[in-house]
Amino acid sequence: MRKARRAWLLFCISILTPTAMAEITVSRQVELKNLLEQDCGSCHGLTLKGGLGPALTIDAMKKKPRAVMLATISDGRPGTPMPPWKNILTAEEIAWLLDVLYKGSYREK
């Protein structure tokens, strides 16, 4: 009985776990981190502490709802300099970048 319950739980976890991480190759991850520093950094600051755009540091991100951030990066913010990225990056890549921001792991190389 217990074993069956545990197996069911593991099954549920396995189907609910996002697979975005696994789909992005290591070399693409390096490119995306460079993009974050160079392109996003040109407005958000090279260390993402803010510039023309707000800070995207782990402390700043903590308070921001993921769904809103996802929409902002995908579609941009009309009427502001924040451009849409959905034609340049895939949905998986945007989700991956957001994970990096929430974990504050963009500085690891």
Interacting residue ranges for ligand HEC, rule: CB under 6 A: 39-40, 42-44, 52-54, 56, 64, 69, 72-73, 77, 80-83, 85, 97
Q: Which is nearer to ligand HEC, 12 or 91 (CB)?
A: 91
Closest approach, Cβ 76 to ligand HEC, in A, equals 8
- Residue 3 or 71 with smaller CB distance to ligand HEC: 71
- 8/60 with CB nearer ligand HEC: 60
Confirm if 95 and 18 have CB atoms less than 8 A apart. yes
Provide the 10 A C-beta neighbour count for residue 59. 9
- Rounded to 5 degrees, what angle do the CA atoms 85, 87, 93 make? 60
Structure tokens at 10: 């593991």
